[in-house]
Amino acid sequence: MDPATIQSSTPKIRQVENSCLFCRIVAGEIPATVVHRTETTLAFRDIDPKAPTHVLVIPVAHHPDVVALAADPSAAADVLATAAAVAEKEGLTDGFRVIFNTGTHGGQEVFHVHAHVVGGAPLGPMLAGK
Ligand code: 5GP
Ligand code: ZN
């Protein structure tokens, strides 16, 4: 359910934490394999990896998508810095991709913005079928 649609007398921040999968991972309510952590970001392995290395990098603060993240330049910079740190930590010296799926056409499924850091093997064409 969209957090904004929840009718409740509890504070909004609590509603977001309760209903957002990745806020719940930040809160430690749902387990994840964390590979890197900063004050403002968290990086953890994707539960269904699409490449030998597939790590999700999120801001600790809830932003639904990359458009909202762009309105918080400090958080956006922190997410990119963590993506770079993950690539280094995972030894992706031959290259990697950083992907922000956004909205319906982008195939976004979890509406807490996340950068997919994928690599560890040649990744093929940029888009399926192209
Ligand atoms: P999106 O399609 O929104 O860009 O990507 C969401 C990603 O989150 C998918 O790659 C999916 O495998 C991953 N994912 C979904 N649920 C969980 C979960 O509970 N834990 C982890 N670690 N990853 C998840
Ligand atoms: Zn969230």
Using one digit for the tens of pLDDT, what is the confidence trace for 8-47? 334 444 444 568 999 999 999 999 999 999 999 999 999 9
Is the pTM higher than 0.85? The answer reads yes
Pocket of ligand 1, beta carbon within 6 A: 21, 30, 32, 44-48, 56, 101, 107-110
* Inter-residue contact 120 to 92 (CB < 8 Å): yes
* Inter-residue contact 85 to 41 (CB < 8 Å): no
| Catalytic residue status for 36 | no
Closest CA to 68 of 37, 105, 112: 112
Please give the Cα distance from 46 to 49 (Å, whole number): 5
For a ligand 1 pocket test, name from 26, 42, 47 the mutation site with the most ligand atoms within 8 angstroms of its C-beta.
47
Mean pLDDT of the chain: 89
